[in-house]
Structure 1
């Protein structure tokens, strides 16, 4: 289990949600991520650029079999360092919240 470490890069709300959505999957389509977060292409691109500069997110492009045009799908993934940083950040948030078992104590 990673040591708790607060990460300013991940902590911004949209970037935290990006990492949270990418963490349980191998990769996710840019459009799906954008629609799930309900942000513009420009907003998502800006946050992904910040995460990529930190080495936390990688992207790849592939042809879309379902489209007749030349557009390509952008796939996004958390890198190994990104997964570790996200897990450490979540642990730090749990420590701040006073619960190592999760945030369920706020449900009371």
Structure 2
């Protein structure tokens, strides 16, 4: 009987690799959808830095945006579509595989 070797980097998505992009995905995974300004504030990023990270995630199909006018200002909401959620969950699984079990009793 042969033991199957699991590659811990299998779920490693380079679009999500950068720490701030991983943080964007984590926030959107928890929130479902969030306004750009709220994401910016929560992650303590400049608008231009956040915009660059969101563009990379959007180009990879991991984040979608919705624009609407509210209080005479255009607002942008961000969300993770299924592809983004799956990529984020795969990234978390890869990190867990790299660091091992979190239960100290194991």
With structure 1 as the length reference, what TM-score do the two structures score? 0.82
Which runs of no fewer than 5 residues in structure 2 stay unpaired? 1-7
Question: 1:54-69 residue pairs with structure 2 within 5 A?
Answer: 54-64=60-70, 67=71
Which runs of no fewer than 5 residues in structure 1 stay unpaired? none
Displaced runs of 4 or more, over 3 A: none
Question: 1:1-108 residue pairs with structure 2 within 5 A?
Answer: 5-64=11-70, 67=71, 70-99=72-101, 103=102, 105=104
With structure 2 as the length reference, what TM-score do the two structures score? 0.84
Rg larger for? 2
Cα-Cα RMSD: 1.6
Provide the aligned length of Structure 1 versus Structure 2: 96
> How far off is 1:63 after superposition?
1.9
